[in-house]
C-alpha cells in the first residue's frame, strides 16, 4: 500500500529526512520511531504531499498513486479517502459548532461515498457501521466536538477514515496527548481494524514500548536519517545501532 524508495526531503537545502526504503503492505503495521527533529513526521507528511516549501525527490507510491508526480487533484483522491492522516489532537481539527454526524455526512458526500452502488449501504448505514468499528456509541454522532473526550475524538477521526474507505492510515503520535488508559483503547481499535479489515498502518511515535506491542517492522530515525530498520522484535530486543540502544536504555 505504501512504497518508498530513496525519499529525500529538504527544507531550504537542509536535509530533513532521508528514507532509502519503506514498505507497508495491507494488514501490516510499520512504525517510525525517533525523537523531536528526527524527521519522522516530515517523512509521514511527505507521503501525502503535505509538506510545504520542501524539495522532495525519490519515489513514493501510496495506494498505487505516484505521490510526487501526482496532480493536486490526484493527491486529493488518495488523501483523506484511501489514505487517511490521523494527528495528535484531532479535536482541534473538528469544527466546533457542527455535530459530529453532520460533519461525517458532509465529508462522505464530498467524497461521493454512498452514491450509486460503489459501496454497500446508505450513508446512515455506513456511518453507523464505521462508528461501531471504533467501539463508539452511535449517540456520539449527535454530539458536538467539545462534548467528547480526547480518546473519543481520536476514535471518531479513525471512524471517519474508515467511512471514507481508507485502506491506509498514517498516524502521527496518535496517542501521545492521551491518558494511558485511553491510549490503550485507541491502540486496541487500530489493532482490530488492521486484523479485521486488512488496514495498513504507518505509525509515527516516540514511544518504543507502545511500538513494540503493535508494529511488525520499525524504522529508527535520527537527525533525518534512518539509522536502523527491521522487524520490531529484532530491532527492539537486539538493537544493532548505538542510538537505538540509547533510546531503549532511556526507557524509564
Partner 1 sequence: MTMLRAERVTLGYAGRAVVHDVSLDITAGGVGLIGESGSGKTILARAFLGLLTPMAGNIWYGDQTLKKADMRKFRKDVQPVFQAEALDPRMRIGASVAEALPVRGPRAARARVPELLEQVGLDPGLAARRPHQLSGGQRQRVVIARALAAGPRLLILDEPTSALDVTVQARILDLIASLDTERLLITHNLAVVRRLCRTSHVLFAGRVVESGPTRDLLADPAHPYTRALRDAVPKLGGSPPQARGTTEAVPAETGCPFRLRCPLAAPECERPPVLRDVRGRQVACHRAEDVLVT
Partner 2 sequence: MTSPGAEVPLRRSLPRIPDRFAAFGAVLIVLIVLAALMAPWLAPYPDEPHPLEGSLPPSGAHWFGTDQLGRDVLTRVLYGGRTSLSIAVSVLAVSALGGVTLGVVAGYAGGWIRDVIMRVTDVFLAFPALLLSLALAVVLPPSVNTVILAIAVTWWPWYTRLAASVAASIATRPYVDAARCLGVPAPLIVLRHVLPNSLTPVLVQISLDAGGVILTAAALSYLGLGAQEPTAEWGLMVQQGQTLFTTNWWIGTFPGLAILVTAFAFNMLGEGLRNALDPRARTVK
Contacted by 12, from partner 2, partner 1, none: CB < 5 to 8 Å by type: none
Report in angstroms how near the CB of residue 35 gets to partner 2 at its nearest. 18
Q: Interacting stretch for partner 2, rule CB under 8 A, among 24-32, 85-93, 189-197, 226-234?
A: 85-93
Q: How many CB atoms lie within 10 A of CB 58?
A: 16
Which of residues 20 and 144 has its CB atom nearest to partner 2 in the complex? 144
Q: Is 76 in the site for partner 2 (CB under 8 A)?
A: yes
Residue 249 in the binding site for partner 1 (CB under 8 A): yes
Q: How many residues are there in the chain?
A: 252
One of 182, 223, 230, 241 touching partner 1 (CB under 8 A)? 182
Question: Which of partner 2, partner 1, none sits in contact with 48, Cβ below 5 to 8 A by type?
Answer: partner 2
Answer whether 169's CB lies under 8 Å from 115's CB. Answer: no
Please identify which residue in 29, 87, 189, 200 interacts with partner 2, judged by CB under 8 A.
87
- Which of 133, 140, 161, 226 binds partner 2 (CB under 8 A)? It is 161
Instruction: State the nearest-atom distance from the C-beta of 182 to partner 1, in Å.
Output: 5
How many CA atoms, within 13 angstroms, populate the side-chain half-sphere of residue 128? Answer: 6
- Smallest gap from Cβ 91 to partner 2, in A, equals 9
Q: Are 196 and 211 in contact (CB under 8 A)?
A: no
Amino acid at each position: 500500500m505504501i512504497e518508498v524508495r530513496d525519499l529525500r526531503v529538504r527544507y531550504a537545502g537542509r536535509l530533513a529526512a532521508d528514507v532509502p526504503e519503506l514498505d507497508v503492505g495491507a494488514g501490516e503495521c510499520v512504525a517510525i520511531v525517533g525523537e523531536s527533529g528526527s524527521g519522522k513526521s516530515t517523512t509521514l507528511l511527505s507521503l501525502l504531499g503535505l509538506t510545504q516549501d520542501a524539495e522532495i525527490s525519490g519515489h513514493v507510491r501510496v495506494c498505487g498513486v505516484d505521490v510526487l508526480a501526482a496532480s493536486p487533484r490526484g493527491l486529493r483522491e488518495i488523501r483523506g479517502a484511501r489514505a487517511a492522516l490521523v494527528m495528535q489532537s484531532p479535536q482541534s481539527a473538528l469544527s466546533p459548532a457542527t455535530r459530529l454526524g453532520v460533519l461525517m455526512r458532509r465529508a462522505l458526500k464530498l467524497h461521493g461515498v454512498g452514491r450509486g452502488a460503489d459501496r454497500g449501504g446508505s450513508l446512515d448505514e455506513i456511518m453507523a457501521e464505521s462508528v461501531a468499528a471504533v467501539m463508539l456509541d452511535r449517540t456520539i454522532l449527535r454530539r458536538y466536538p467539545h462534548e467528547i473526550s480526547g480518546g473519543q475524538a481520536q476514535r471518531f477521526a479513525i471512524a471517519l477514515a474508515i467511512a471514507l474507505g481508507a485502506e491506509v492510515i498514517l498516524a502521527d503520535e496518535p496517542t501521545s496527548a492521551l491518558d494511558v488508559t485511553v491510549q490503550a483503547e485507541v491502540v486496541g481499535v487500530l489493532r482490530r481494524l488492521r486484523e479485521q479489515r486488512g488496514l495498513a498502518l504507518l505509525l509515527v511515535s516516540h514511544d518504543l514500548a507502545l511500538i513494540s506491542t503493535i508494529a511488525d517492522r520499525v524504522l529508527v530515525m535520527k537527525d533525518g536519517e534512518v539509522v536502523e530498520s527491521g522487524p520490531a522484535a529484532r530491532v527492539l530486543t537486539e538493537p544493532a545501532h548505538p542510538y537505538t540502544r540509547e533510546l531503549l536504555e532511556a526507557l524509564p
